Amino acid sequence: MFNSDISIYLLPLKFFLLSCSMFLARARLCTLGSRPKFLKTICASKILGLSTSAKMSLKFKNAKRIEGLDSNVWIEFTKLAADPSVVNLGQGLPDISPPVYVKEELSKIAAIDSLNQYTRGFGHPSLVKALSCLYEKFYQNQINPNKEILVTVGAYGSLFNAIQGLIDEGDEVIVIVPFYDCYEPMVRMAGAIPVFIPLRSKLVDGKKWSSSDWTLDPQELASKFNSKTKAIILNTPHNPLGKVYTKEELQVIADLCIKYDTLCISDEVYEWLVYTGNKHFKIATFPGMWERTITIGSAGKTFSVTGWKLGWSIGPKHLIKHLQTVQQNTVYTCATPLQEALAQALWIDIKRMDDPECYFNSLPKELEVKRNRMVHLLESVGLKPIVPDGGYFIIADVSLLDTDLSDMKNSNEPYDYKFVKWMTKNKKLSAIPVSAFCNAETKLQFEKFVRFCFIKKDSTLDAAEEIIKAWSRQKF
Amino acid sequence: MTKQLQARRLNGIDHNPWVEFVKLASEADVVNLGQGFPDFAPPDFAVEAFQHAVSGDFMLNQYTKAFGYPPLTKILASFFGKLLGQDMDPLKNVLVTVGAYGALFTAFQALVDEGDEVIIIEPFFDCYEPMTLMAGGRPVFVSLKLSPNQDRELDSSSNWQLDPTELASKFTSRTKALILNTPNNPLGKVFSRAELELVASLCQQHDVVCITDEVYQWLVYDGCQHVSIATLPGMWERTLTIGSAGKTFSATGWKVGWVLGPESLLKHLRTVHQNSIFHCPTQAQAAVAQSFEREQLHFGQPSSYFVQLPQAIQRCRDHMIQSLKSVGLRPVIPQGSYFLITDISEFKSKMPNLPGAADEPYDRRFVKWMIKNKGLMAIPVSIFYSVPHQKLFDHYIRFCFMKDESTLQAMDKKLQKWKDDLRP
């Protein structure tokens, strides 16, 4: 009874409070205390008798497609490594400068007015032309720049467009473990079922452990294919292992794709980063594969400009057109000046493909030295590295260190998560746990591995070396 | 492949009308008043900001924070916090996207489920419908209707209104969201506070999310006020406010947009974002941040771009209106945005049989005829209507007046020739 008296009393105040809150909203307050919000809350939920917060939270639930996809390893670990005193060998981000001519092209373009407005949605004309020219060198067929190439927001965007465009609810998609972490959530967001198959290592005595020792068992792989298999996602050179699939290995995959009429989404962002004794093969060039393959590339990884967020998909027009449909309903077009700068940078290197100065040749040379340095460093402190044949990551088995991680909270986390957090906190060196690249069932298989990124300037690697040397001195 | 190759979510959304018209514009010698982008430069301070971003710290060539370059989310939170009357946290209440287009996509994917209804006010920026469909949603259309002036004066976009009863009837228990666009593309309508209160009360009554596309918020004329529905009581907690650097700073090619809203909604958009593109390009974000910092210092003053731009563009609008009238076209005076629509009914009655496909709406045939014969390009307004309503609204075409003086003069030349052709 008391309450109803109050509410009657408060009713005339309703309009006063409403107009107060609207006035306060309109008057652009420099400091906002909690008063306006408090008034609004009263108005909205109590006096006007509108939706209760319980009802509201039901309706405002996320769409089913993103259920369970909210966590992300990078968000967690980049926060950890953000401490400037930590030597960050975690995220795959170069701290070296991009090549001078790449920066110069972008600077020049920033002065050209016409490039500040929208360009062609499926890719800036001069860029798709440059990409077509570059990649025609590797394919037997000509590549139509308008119908067989799509420029996307990073290779990440190409993966998204390919999966959204071609993968349906209920489809199965084969994912090789370890995998770049977005493959699983993207497949799930499309309502499809990821079917996992791990790379398995054979131990070879008397020889350094190499990424080439990690292979797919052909029979196991064949058992994963069935009539519901829509696609297989391939990543070569591979993140995090650094494996560069051989011609024979790719042929096994190609044969299965053709037998089961399956698509192949081939993530080749590290295609230029292949070390001595290895060669990158494009599965799309194998017989019967062009018509069923989307090959993805990245400006960020090609020119060490991850912040430009430009990638591309190359494939037959009957597949690319569906990625283009996704594009016109998602971002529509990518940034113009960056695309033009990328086109100019590509032309510079296209003209000198055999020159050691060409970035496609000079970067892997530079990185091979860093790779070798990392291998040596990791070995010196008792970590067992797997020498990568390509890419800019190296993983190492940390179990021999037998580090005491008992003071790390969250005992449900895999070993490598705890190890990385311990190492970041106590050694000021960050890395990424390899189980982050595994699905729930396979995490245990890879929980003793940690991934280091070596596309870092010498001073960063020097700092890592200092830490590692001190660490090894502590042990012995 | 025995079953369909492409995913079913693409059904019905593969066709895009722009592709055809953009191609046509590039082919002929036309004055392009079709597609909505400025043909003049962004302001000097914005150009300088971009130049600074690309020639400064080389680490700006690398990834930034996924949900937005920190100086940008910081300035957006502070700048819009004041405008929206909210204490905004850059990490919780702001998400940077690839254009406002990307923001719209992220919002639909985050919140619209199979079978959810989304209310779309016609005429609508054409992507709202396919984005709803791609998310498995069901678009429910409600048209703005013209209550024409009784005298012979030109109509204003304010004469286009929603019928409150009709709007209310569109809300059902399955309505998940309503998408609002103010200032509106293509009409140029600026929803009044009273009109927004109507929408707001229905959203609250039916517990619906309001996605508000406010990309043209600074382009309002004749002293009209842009009102953000998120500032109305009870609306902040259920509104996603979308903005665009491209439209704000006349740099559409930078493709930087943002969504502002409560954490309870934004967290779902972040999930979509991290599983679709993850990061937006760093340098363009840095340029936008610096540009907003500059505007914050000049806010409300004559030197503010947000003051100067609408003043300059209003002149373009008025020039275009006068010119179009001279050939018997009847433009609707827009209160905002960079578009106006023009009634072509007289032409429809005088030349009803223009070449085109079997049931191609008249306005599309007219535009093609105009491109070919009069050297002028516009966009047929039926593109902005749902298929069942296209035949009802096939007598309008949309012109963009966000153009340089020289373009408007080129337009005048074409219109003069047209006028001459009309003389007996």
Contact present, B42 and A355 (Cβ < 8 Å): no
Q: Tens of pLDDT along A175-196?
A: 999 999 999 999 999 999 999 9
Residue B388, preceding peptide bond in cis (omega within 30° of 0): no
pLDDT band at A28 (very low <50, low <70, confident <90, very high): very low
Q: Does A309 touch chain B (CB under 8 A)?
A: yes
Contact A64 B275 (CB under 8 A): no
Q: Least CB-CB distance to A328: which of B9, B16, B268? A: B16
**CATH 3.90.1150.10-classified regions of chain A:** 72-96+358-473
Question: Looking at the domain covering A72-96+358-473, what would its CATH class be?
Answer: alpha beta
DSSP state at residue A198: E
> Mutate which of B278, B285, B402 to test chain A, going by most A C-beta atoms within 10 A?
B278
Smallest CA–CA separation between B69 and chain A, in Å?
11
User: What is the pLDDT at residue B76?
Assistant: 98
> In chain B, what residues touch A231 (CB-CB under 8 Å)?
none
> In chain B, what residues touch A115 (CB-CB under 8 Å)?
253
**CATH 3.40.640.10-classified regions of chain B:** 44-298
Q: Least CB-CB distance to B281: which of A57, A65, A307? A: A307
Quick one: average pLDDT of B49-56? 96
**CATH 3.90.1150.10-classified regions of chain B:** 8-42+304-422
> Mutate which of B3, B51, B225, B274 to test chain A, going by most A C-beta atoms within 10 A?
B274
pTM: 0.92
As given in the structure block, the two tokens for residue B224 are: 């009209």
As given in the structure block, the two tokens for residue B156 are: 């204003």
Helix or strand (DSSP H, E) at A294: strand A293-298
Smallest CA–CA separation between A401 and chain B, in Å?
33
As given in the structure block, the two tokens for residue B149 are: 């002036």
Question: Looking at the domain covering B44-298, what would its CATH class be?
Answer: alpha beta
**CATH 3.40.640.10-classified regions of chain A:** 100-351
User: What is the pLDDT at residue A99?
Assistant: 97
d(CA B370, CA B355): 11
Most confident stretch, A2-6, A77-81, B357-361: B357-361
> In chain A, what residues touch B111 (CB-CB under 8 Å)?
60, 62-63
d(CA B419, CA B401): 20
A295 pairs with which residues across the strands?
A: A266, A314
Residue ranges of A 261-300 with Cβ closer than 8 A to chain B: 261, 300
> Mutate which of B20, B21, B63 to test chain A, going by most A C-beta atoms within 10 A?
B63
Q: Does A124 touch chain B (CB under 8 A)?
A: no
Weakest mean pLDDT among A145-154, A423-432, B67-76: A423-432
Contact present, B34 and B363 (Cβ < 8 Å): no
For B332, the 3-state DSSP assignment is: coil
Contact B111 A169 (CB under 8 A): no
Contact present, B301 and B307 (Cβ < 8 Å): yes
d(CA B185, CA B187): 5
User: What is the pLDDT at residue A42?
Assistant: 34
d(CA A160, CA B105): 13
Mean pLDDT (chain A, rounded): 88
| Chain A residue with Cα closest to B131 | A329
Q: Least CB-CB distance to B253: which of A26, A119, A167? A: A119
Most confident stretch, A34-48, A202-216, A341-355, B340-354: A341-355
Asked if the ipTM is above 0.90, the reply is yes
Place of tokens 């340098």: B283
d(CA B353, CA B67): 52
What does DSSP say about strands B94-97 and B379-380: parallel, antiparallel, or unpaired? unpaired
A429 pairs with which residues across the strands?
A: A87
Residue B318 makes CB contacts below 8 A (sequence gap 6+) with none
* Whether the predicted pLDDT of A249 surpasses 90: yes
Quick one: average pLDDT of B136-153? 93
Please provide residue B181's backbone torsions phi and psi, each rounded to the nearest 5 degrees.
Answer: -135, 110
d(CA B278, CA B291): 24
Contact B47 A154 (CB under 8 A): no
d(CA A54, CA A97): 51
Q: How far is CA A449 from the centre of its chain?
A: 19
* Whether the predicted pLDDT of A27 surpasses 80: no
B175 pairs with which residues across the strands?
A: B117
For B225, the 3-state DSSP assignment is: coil
Quick one: average pLDDT of B283-290? 98
Neighbours of A379 (CB within 10 A): 14
Contact B66 A75 (CB under 8 A): yes
DSSP states of B295-331: HHHHTTSTT-HHHHHHHHHHHHHHHHHHHHHTTT-EE
pLDDT band at A32 (very low <50, low <70, confident <90, very high): very low
Quick one: average pLDDT of A118-134? 97
Smallest CA–CA separation between A370 and chain B, in Å?
20
Smallest CA–CA separation between A371 and chain B, in Å?
21
For B284, the 3-state DSSP assignment is: helix
Q: Does A20 touch chain B (CB under 8 A)?
A: no
As given in the structure block, the two tokens for residue B171 are: 């809300």
Contact A307 B64 (CB under 8 A): yes
As given in the structure block, the two tokens for residue A23 are: 């006035």
- Taking one residue from A and the other from B, the number of pairs with CB-CB distance under 8 angstroms is 264
> In chain B, what residues touch A338 (CB-CB under 8 Å)?
281, 283-284
B23 pairs with which residues across the strands?
A: none
Contact A107 B13 (CB under 8 A): no
Contact present, B224 and B62 (Cβ < 8 Å): no
Q: Least CB-CB distance to B253: which of A66, A115, A154? A: A115
Contact A32 B54 (CB under 8 A): no
User: What is the pLDDT at residue A113?
Assistant: 87
| Chain A residue with Cα closest to B108 | A63
Contact present, B63 and A93 (Cβ < 8 Å): yes
* Whether the predicted pLDDT of A45 surpasses 60: no
Smallest CA–CA separation between B231 and chain A, in Å?
6
Weakest mean pLDDT among A8-22, A226-240, A436-450, B46-60: A8-22
Q: Tens of pLDDT along A292-314?
A: 999 999 999 999 999 999 999 99
**Identity of the residue numbered B239:** T
Contact A308 B127 (CB under 8 A): no
Half-sphere exposure of B102 (CA within 13 A, CB side): 33
What is the C-alpha end-to-end distance of chain A, expressed in Å?
79
Q: Least CB-CB distance to A66: which of B105, B110, B208? A: B110
d(CA B55, CA A133): 28
Contact A335 B253 (CB under 8 A): yes
Which CATH superfamily includes the segment(s) B8-42+304-422?
Aspartate Aminotransferase, domain 1 (3.90.1150.10)
| Angle between helices A154-166 and A317-328 in degrees, nearest 10 | 110
User: What is the pLDDT at residue A80?
Assistant: 80
User: What is the pLDDT at residue B421?
Assistant: 82
Q: Does A258 touch chain B (CB under 8 A)?
A: no
Residue A178, preceding peptide bond in cis (omega within 30° of 0): yes
Q: How far is CA B340 from the centre of its chain?
A: 12
| Chain A residue with Cα closest to B41 | A113
* Whether the predicted pLDDT of B221 surpasses 50: yes
* Whether the predicted pLDDT of A33 surpasses 50: no
Query: Cα Rg for chain A, rounded, in angstroms?
Result: 26
d(CA B397, CA A431): 57
Smallest CA–CA separation between B420 and chain A, in Å?
34
**B97-to-A199, A224, B105, B278, B285 alpha-carbon distances in Å:** 36, 37, 10, 9, 10
Quick one: average pLDDT of A219-248? 98
DSSP E strands in A97-215: the ranges are 149-152, 172-177, 193-198, 200-201, 214-215
Q: Tens of pLDDT along A372-395?
A: 999 999 998 888 899 999 999 999
Contact present, B110 and B268 (Cβ < 8 Å): yes
> In chain B, what residues touch A156 (CB-CB under 8 Å)?
276-279
User: What is the pLDDT at residue A43?
Assistant: 35
Half-sphere exposure of B287 (CA within 13 A, CB side): 36
Question: Does the domain formed by A100-351 have CATH 2.60.40.420?
Answer: no
d(CA B36, CA B137): 27
d(CA A56, CA B391): 39
